[in-house]
Amino acid sequence: MTTIKQIAEFLNKELNINNIEDSSCNGLQVENEGEITKIGFAVDACQETFEKAFKAKCNLLVVHHGLIWDSLKHLKGSTYHNIKYLITNNLALYASHLPLDLHEKYGNNVQLANLLQLKDLRAFGFYHDKAIGFSGSTDTTLEKIKKKLQNQGMKTLSLDFGPKEIKKVAIISGGGAKEVYQAVAIGADLYITGEPLHFVHHFAKENNINVIFSGHYETEVWGVKALMPLLQEKFKVKVEFIDVPTIV
């Protein structure tokens, strides 16, 4: 019988969660009882995701953005209802935030780099002492990269202020807009991140760099999706991706 403790221990180790400083309380956030037979994978811990996972008969949800962060002080309002729903329905919640951004096999960023077939991958985008993203080399055009992203259902809100020919790309999934200065510092022609920030417009223009905002959600489905075959194979459980996209 597969229990939540076995799966959580395996993921903690595989994702090295104890060695990565993060405002997310990574790991098992809400426990449950009994056997795990089906795992749902999602980007966000939210009511809609929980209800879809319960309907799909999942006993565990593995998410990128969990419910419990350093800032959580009270179980009130929607947070109370979220946690009550999980406990009432015996649905466990496991979260992996930065560990699933930066992981060199399963992480959101390496998956995006692989999608764009970047070569000579290097750790990029430092937060505390850890690199979250990746940079790599290529020989393509901005338009071809946009097409590739669009073909995967990703957003391509773009600031086309750099060269049309792209040799070096830097990537940080999700809310990495502020890190655009690090992309300029390494001489990237293109910086890809999830969510837009206003100041990046003039900064990119004045530093001749292209920036594509591909959606916070769309750049962060990759990590949890990469864990699906891993857990399916290891624990012989059913798996399902619970798709609840956001507008930003």
Compute the least distance from the CB of residue 175 to Zn ion, in Å. 6
Binding status of residue 223 toward Zn ion by CB under 5 A: no
Nearer to Zn ion, 136 or 215 (CB): 215
CB 66 within 8 A of CB 90: no
Nearest approach, Cβ of residue 227 and Zn ion (Å):
16
**Cα gap 200→179, rounded to integer Å:** 10
The least CB distance from residue 102 to Zn ion, in Å, is 12
CB 157 → Zn ion: shortest distance, Å? 17
84 Cα distance to chain centroid: 25
Query: Distance of CA 2 to CAs 32, 227, 232, Å?
Result: 12, 17, 12
CB nearer to Zn ion: give 177 or 204: 177
Q: Residue 209: name the closest of 154, 170, 153, 235 by CA.
A: 170
Q: Taking Cα atoms as reference points, which of 58, 43, 128 lies closest to residue 90?
A: 58
Query: Half-sphere exposure of residue 159, counting CA atoms within 13 Å on the CB side?
Result: 26
Taking the complex as a whole, how short is the minimal distance between the CB of residue 171 and Zn ion, in angstroms?
Answer: 13
Distance CA 203, CA 115 (A): 27
Part of the chain binding Zn ion (CB under 5 A), chosen from 144-152, 157-165, 167-175, 199-207: 167-175
Binding mask 27-66 for Zn ion (x = CB under 5 A): ----------------------------------------
Rg (CA), the chain: 19
Q: Mask of contacts with Zn ion, 121-160, x by CB under 5 A?
A: ----------------------------------------
Candidates 13-21, 81-89, 140-148, 166-174 — which segment interacts with Zn ion by CB under 5 A? 166-174
**Restricting to residues 170-209, which ones interact with Zn ion according to CB under 5 A?**
174
Minimum gap (Å) between residue 45 Cβ and Zn ion: 12
C-beta of residue 178 within 8 angstroms of C-beta of residue 191: no
* Residues of this chain that bind Zn ion (CB under 5 A): 174
